[in-house]
Structure 1
Amino acid sequence: MADCEATNEDFRHLDDGLPADIARLKDAGELERAVALIEAELDAGTRPELAACLRAERARMLRTPLDFCVTRTRALAQVREECPEFSEADLDRLIDAGRVDWRLVEGEQRFLPSFLDALRKYPEEVPGLACPAPSRADRLGVIAEMRENGAAERRIRLRASIAAGTDVQVGPETRVRCWLPVPAACPQICDARVIDATPDAQIAEADAQQRTAYWDVRGRREFFVDYEYTVRAPYVDLWAERLVPAPTDERFAPAPAPTVADVSERRPHIAFTPYLRGLASRIFEGFAASDQLGRARAAYDWVTNNVDYRFQPAYLLLDGIADGCAKSLRGDCGVFAITFITLCRLGGVPARWQSGLYAAPSDVGPHDWAMFHVDGLGWLWADCSFGSGARREGDEERRRFYFGNLDPWRMVANSEFMAPLAPACDVLRNDPFDNQVGEMIVGERGLTSHDFTWKIELVSMR
Structure 2
Amino acid sequence: MGIKYWLGLCGLFVFTGCATRISQKGDFEQEKMSRIRLDFTKTKEQVTDYIRKYIPDVTKEQLLQWENEKSLECITIDGQKMYFYNAAPNLFRINKEAAEIKLAKDGVVLDGKDLVNLTHVPQVVNEVKSSQKNIVHPVRMRVKYTLTVKPGVVPEGEIIRCWLPFPRTDQSRQTDVKLLATSEKKYTIAPAKYKHSTLYMEKKQEKEKPTLFSAEYEYTSSAEWHPLKPEDILPYNKKTAIYREYTSERNSHILFTPRIKALAKQLVGDEQNPLLKVKRIYEWINQIPWASAREYSTLDNIPEYVLENKHGDCGQVSLLFITLARYCGIPARFQSGFMMHPGGKNMHDWAEVYFEGPGWVPVDQSFGIFPSNNDDEKYFFMSGIDSYRMIVNDEYSCDLFPKKRFPRSETVDFQRGEVEWRGGNLYFNKWNWNLEIEYLK
Q: TM-score range by the shorter chain?
A: 0.7 to 0.9
Equivalent in the alignment of 1:141: 119
| 1:204-238 Cα shifts (integer Å, max 9, x gaps) | 12342101111123226111111111112122223
Alignment pair present for 1:215 and 2:201 = yes
Q: Is the 8 A contact 1:98 1:328 kept in 2?
A: yes
The code of the aligned residue for 2:143 comes to L
Q: Give the alignment partner of residue 77 of structure 1, picking from 44, 49, 65.
A: 49
RMSD: 3.0
Give the AA of the match of 2:316.
V
**2:343 paired with 1:362:** yes
- Which residues of 2 match residues 8-407 of structure 1 at below 5 A? 26-27=4-5, 52-80=24-52, 83-121=55-93, 123-126=99-102, 130=106, 133-135=109-111, 136-150=114-128, 151-171=136-156, 173-184=157-168, 185-199=170-184, 200-219=186-205, 221-238=211-228, 240=229, 243=232, 258-288=242-272, 291-305=273-287, 307-387=288-368, 400-407=379-386
Task: Tell me what 1:14 maps to.
Answer: none
1:438 aligns with 2:414: no
Question: What amino acid maps onto 1:448 in structure 2?
Answer: Y
Q: In structure 1, how many angstroms separate the alpha carbons of the residues matched to 2:377 and 2:298?
A: 32
Paired residues, what number? Answer: 406
Distance 2:401 2:103 in 1: 48
Higher relative CO (CA 8 A, sep ≥ 6), structure 1 or 2? 2
CA contact (8 A) 2:246 2:332 kept: yes
- The answer to whether the 8 Å contact 1:357/1:436 transfers is yes
* Structure 1 residue 113 displacement after superposition: 2.0
CA contact under 8 A between 2:314 and 2:348: conserved in structure 1?
Answer: yes
Q: Whole-Å Cα distance in 1 between the matches of residues 103 and 56 of structure 2?
A: 11
Q: Deviations over 1:105-162 (max 9, x none)?
A: 1122212222233245463145776566115332111101111111322111111111
The alpha-carbon distance between structure 1 residues 73 and 395, as it changes in their structure 2 partners (threshold 3 A), is farther
Task: Report Cα offsets for 1:288-339 as digits up to 9, x if no partner.
Answer: 2xx221222222122113x211211110111211122233321100001100
Question: What letter is aligned with 1:312?
Answer: A
Once residues 152 and 53 of structure 2 are traced to their aligned partners in structure 1, the CA distance between those partners, rounded to angstroms, is 30
1:212 partner amino acid? T
Alpha-carbon distance between aligned partners in 2 of 1:170 and 1:398, rounded to the nearest angstrom: 54
Aligned to 1:330, the other structure's residue is in SS state: coil
Residue 371 of structure 1 aligns to a residue in which SS?
A: strand
2:428 equivalent in structure 1:
449
User: Secondary structure of the equivalent of 2:429?
Assistant: coil
| Partner-residue secondary structure (3-state), 1:331 | coil
**1:58-85 Cα shifts (integer Å, max 9, x gaps):** 3222221111111112211233356543
Q: Secondary structure at the match of 2:286?
A: helix
Aligned to 1:5: none
The letter of the residue matching 2:334 is W
Tell me the amino acid that sits aligned with residue 429 of structure 1: R
Q: 1:387 to 1:58 in 2, by over 3 A?
A: same
Q: Which runs of no fewer than 5 residues in structure 1 stay unpaired?
A: 1-21, 39-49, 246-255
Contact 2:165 2:414 in 1 (8 A): yes
Are residues 1:408 and 2:387 paired?
yes
CA–CA separation in structure 1 for the residues paired with 2:377 and 2:73: 28
Runs (5+) with no aligned partner, structure 2 = 13-21, 129-135, 235-239
Aligned equivalents of 2:377, 2:176: Cα separation in 1: 30
Alpha carbons of structure 1 residues 395 and 340: separation in structure 2 relative to 1, 3 Å: farther
Which residue does the alignment assign to 1:3?
none
Q: How does 1:422-437 map to 2 (within 5 A)?
A: 422-437=401-416
Normalising by structure 1, we get a TM-score of 0.80
- Secondary structure of the residue aligned to 1:217 is strand
Bigger Cα displacement from structure 2, 96-105 vs 404-413: 96-105
